[in-house]
Amino acid sequence: MPPRAPEPAGVGLVDKPRGPSSFAIVAQIRSRTGARTGHAGTLDPFATGLLLVLSGRATKLAPLLVGLDKRYRAEIDLTCRTSTGDPEGEVVERLEPPSERELAERLERLRGEIELPVPAASAVKIGGERAYRLARRGAAVEMPLRRSTVYALQVAAFSGARVTLDLHVSSGTYVRALADALGGHCAALRRTTVGPFSVEDAVPPDELTPERLLPEAEVRARVEAARAGAR
């Protein structure tokens, strides 16, 4: 296989649809451009929203981008927990939905710095093997704890059985782990921002052309400006 080309270079803002994996989206774009291609921050297949796709020489920007904070709109089903923390897993526990007061108390415990187990269906390596592969085989493993920060957590809608949340979280936060801690699973998830980049400026994967790639210098400038404003 010939080496992947350094051009076109830049960062694409892609609005990922529900269904394909982040890897599949990257592969689709790579097949069209022939360039080295990667992404900065995985979205699960069931999730939608902003995926930063790095093309050509801009793949070296990954360390700059993966550490950015993120915003999500999440719909949590409070009637059951699943093996994966999302709709793709098996139901492992049926639950009585909390009252509005009970929900408020649970949410309060999830604001600020938190420490929650990494979901079993994640890409974290346990003993050199991806956790999701161990989970598929039914292997019982103790998942490590992950420390992260929930800057904001607001209720957008609550029906009793389901709650819709607007989240602003640090890099490395597993929304599925938050859903499990609330006593449910993440039924739908949409990433709306990554640092200074918004899904409002994103395009579907098949509409990402070289002309739509953000130049490396602009990406660096926007990230630096966002970090300076956060100080």
pLDDT digits 0-9 by tens, 64-119 = 998 899 999 999 999 999 988 899 888 989 999 999 999 999 999 999 999 987 76
Integer Cα distance of 155 and 174 in angstroms: 18
The structure's pTM equals 0.89
Name, in order, each residue with C-beta under 8 angstroms of 225's C-beta and a sequence gap of 6 or more: 196
Domain ranges of the chain: 10-67+197-225, 70-193
pLDDT digits 0-9 by tens, 131-176 = 556 455 555 566 567 889 999 999 999 998 999 999 999 998 989 9
pLDDT at 79: 96
Single out the catalytic residue among 15, 44, 77, 180.
44
pLDDT digits 0-9 by tens, 182-197 = 999 999 999 999 999 9
Name, in order, each residue with C-beta under 8 angstroms of 151's C-beta and a sequence gap of 6 or more: 69, 168, 169, 170
44 flagged as catalytic: yes
Domain 70-193 part of CATH 3.30.2350.10: yes
Q: Are 52 and 76 in contact (CB under 8 A)?
A: no
The CATH homologous superfamily of the domain defined by 10-67+197-225? Pseudouridine synthase (3.30.2350.10)
Name, in order, each residue with C-beta under 8 angstroms of 105's C-beta and a sequence gap of 6 or more: none
Beta bridge partners of 48: 190
| pLDDT at 43 > cutoff 80 | yes
